[in-house]
């Protein structure tokens, strides 16, 4: 997250957030500090946040179908918090009978083994969104049919008191109403229009356009090596994402 006296930016992973953080710290005379990375407002001291009501609150969003492929491809490089939770930290080894409750680690490892293989992506996606139990907290969510992993992280990062409220959310309508009442982001940066949206954000904060020209030419980071996201899906997995990330798809007008 990036914070200064004018704004707070929350970094939702695999949405171009690393690039946005680089841009924010490259803008001249826009002093601020980076605290953590993919943390929410409850994971930093209140004195660091300041008065949120007086600040622009910004975050990224991305087409869900594209987001899942990017998350999987990044994990195939043995990187990312999700990959580390499932494979590197490997809490399953501590359990006496892990196979009774969790997917064997070798199945996850196979699903991450080749970022060019659509069949492995589809296997991984089903492990994540259908099997679910291997992902701490997300796997325990009470609305599995209406809450994909992207929607879960979106709600956790961009809403007030999501972790305290999640067990009260039983249906998609509950989730939608909760987001309508608690989402505090007032400027979204769309990954598909990242530079132009970033420019709009900074102009809205009072910056001269000339100061931004050089900043917007900075190359992007953390690109994964893969083909277009549509090549990884079949009809079943297209519908799986459509069903579980309905909140984001409808709210932000995405389609496959």
Torsion sign, CA atoms 112, 113, 117, 120: negative
Between the alpha carbon of residue 253 and those of residues 29, 109, 143, the distances in Å are 35, 34, 22
Angle between helix axes 64-76 and 235-244 (nearest 10 degrees) is 110
Confidence of residue 70 (pLDDT cuts 50, 70, 90): very high
Q: Which residues, 6+ apart, have CB-to-CB distance to 213 below 8 Å?
A: none
Write down the mean pLDDT value for the chain.
87
Q: What percentage of the chain exceeds 70 in pLDDT? A: 90
Two tokens, residue 107: 């199945």
pLDDT the model gives residue 95 = 47
Tell me the pLDDT tens digit for each residue of 221-246.
656 567 899 999 999 999 999 999 99
Inter-residue contact 58 to 95 (CB < 8 Å): no
231: helix, coil or strand?
Answer: helix
pLDDT the model gives residue 96 = 46
Mean pLDDT confidence for 49-75? 94
Q: Given a cut of 60, is residue 98 above it in pLDDT?
A: no
Higher pLDDT, 106 or 184: 184
pLDDT the model gives residue 89 = 55
Two tokens, residue 218: 């900075």
Q: Which residues, 6+ apart, have CB-to-CB distance to 70 below 8 Å?
A: 14, 62, 224, 226, 229
How crowded is residue 187: how many other Cβ atoms within 10 Å of its Cβ? 16
Tell me the pLDDT tens digit for each residue of 26-60.
888 788 889 988 999 999 888 888 889 899 999 99
């Amino acid at each position: 997250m990036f914070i200064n006296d004018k704004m707070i930016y929350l970094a939702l992973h695999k949405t171009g957030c690393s690039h946005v953080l680089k841009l924010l710290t490259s803008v001249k005379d826009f002093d601020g500090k980076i605290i953590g990375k993919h943390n929410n407002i409850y994971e930093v001291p209140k004195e660091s946040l300041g008065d949120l009501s007086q600040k622009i609150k910004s975050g990224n969003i991305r087409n869900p179908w594209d987001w899942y492929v990017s998350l999987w491809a990044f994990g195939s490089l043995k990187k990312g918090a999700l990959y580390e939770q499932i494979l590197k930290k490997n809490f399953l080894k501590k359990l006496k009978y892990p196979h009774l409750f969790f997917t064997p680690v070798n199945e996850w490892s196979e699903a991450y083994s080749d970022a060019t293989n659509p069949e492995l992506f589809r296997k991984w996606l089903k492990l994540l969104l259908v099997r679910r139990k291997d992902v701490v907290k997300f796997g325990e969510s009470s609305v599995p049919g209406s809450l994909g992993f992207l929607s879960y992280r979106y709600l956790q990062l961009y809403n007030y008191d999501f972790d305290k409220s999640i067990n009260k959310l039983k249906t998609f309508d509950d989730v939608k109403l909760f987001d309508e009442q608690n989402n505090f982001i007032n400027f979204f940066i769309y990954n598909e229009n990242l530079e132009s949206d970033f420019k709009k954000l900074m102009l809205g904060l009072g910056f001269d356009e000339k100061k931004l020209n050089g900043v917007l030419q900075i190359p992007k980071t953390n690109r994964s090596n893969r083909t277009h996201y549509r090549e990884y899906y079949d009809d079943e997995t297209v519908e799986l994402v459509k069903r579980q990330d309905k909140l984001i798809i409808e709210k932000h007008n995405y389609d496959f």
